[in-house]
Amino acid sequence: MDRRKFIAGLGSLTAAGAAGIGTGAFTSVQANRGLTVDTADDSNAFLAIEAMSGDNADDYVEDGGNGTVTLDFTNTDSPGSGGGVNRDSTTIFDDLLKITNQGTNTVIVGHRQSFGPAKGALYHEDDDVSQLGDIAGDYGTPDNDGITNLDTAAAKNLPVLEPGESLENVGFFVTPDADASEDFVNGTITFTAGDQPSDIGL
């Protein structure tokens, strides 16, 4: 089984391209992202992770150099703006990332995270892609992280991408409580894709 791994960190996000996997067909791919959030060369990978176009992506998704992409919520690129998120609240960042199947076979896409979903998670608002199961919940709400989170009760409601198809409008939300520390979310997000549920750990 061919696997791809990437490391990322929610102040910054990174995705890496892999070399020498052969034909473009792959059994599974795995991309780790840390939340401070960092990624490694994503745009040319079989599972490509790229910034969306728009204000949120412009402010919070950065080119880390060497083909890497970084999510950084500690500051914004807009002049005169603050940095960090509010305590005792939910902050939602829509339309940050696009995930594209650049292989030659259809894959199921999901993610796992090293921190609890109560702190925050990825979600998406793309209703144009097919699903492995029925959707539970409404698009565009932060409670919808079960669509991509492999460890939630809705784990089988996962996007299925045909070759060349993209999962767009991937966002992130955080829910720090009143006593949250400055580095409230500090962990890893792992993107996984495979052609069978067993390939992604289901």
Instruction: Residue 44: give the domain boundaries.
Output: 28-200
What average pLDDT does this structure show over 27-39?
A: 50
177 within a domain of the structure (yes/no) = yes
- The pLDDT value recorded for residue 155 is 55
Q: What is the mean pLDDT of residues 1-27?
A: 38
Instruction: Choose the weakest-confidence range: 80-84, 149-153, 195-199.
Output: 80-84
Is 22 among the domain residues? Answer: no
- Residue 164: pLDDT band by 50, 70, 90 thresholds? very high
Average of pLDDT values for 63-73? 69
Return the higher-pLDDT residue of 75 and 98: 98
DSSP the chain: ---------SS--B----S---SS--SEEEEEEEE--BB-S-TTSSEEEEEPSSHHHHHHEEEEETTEEEE--S--SSTT---S--SSS-EEEEEEEEEEE-SSS-EEEEEEESS-TTTEEEEE--TTSEESS---S-TTSGGGGGGTBTTSTTTT--EEE-TT-EEEEEEEEE---TT--TT---EEEEEEEESSGGGGT-
pLDDT band of 112, cuts 50, 70, 90: confident
102 vs 37 pLDDT, higher one: 102
User: Would you state the pLDDT for residue 15?
Assistant: 36
The model's pTM: 0.69
As a whole-number percent, the residues of the chain with pLDDT over 90 amount to 7
Residue 8 covered by a domain: no
Q: pLDDT category, 101, cuts 50, 70, 90?
A: very high
Total domains present in the chain: 1
Instruction: Give the pLDDT confidence score for residue 198 in this predicted structure.
Output: 85
Tell whether 110 is covered by a domain.
yes
Q: Is residue 171 part of a domain?
A: yes
The tens digit of pLDDT for each residue in 118-128 reads: 667 777 777 77
Residue 53, domain member (yes or no): yes
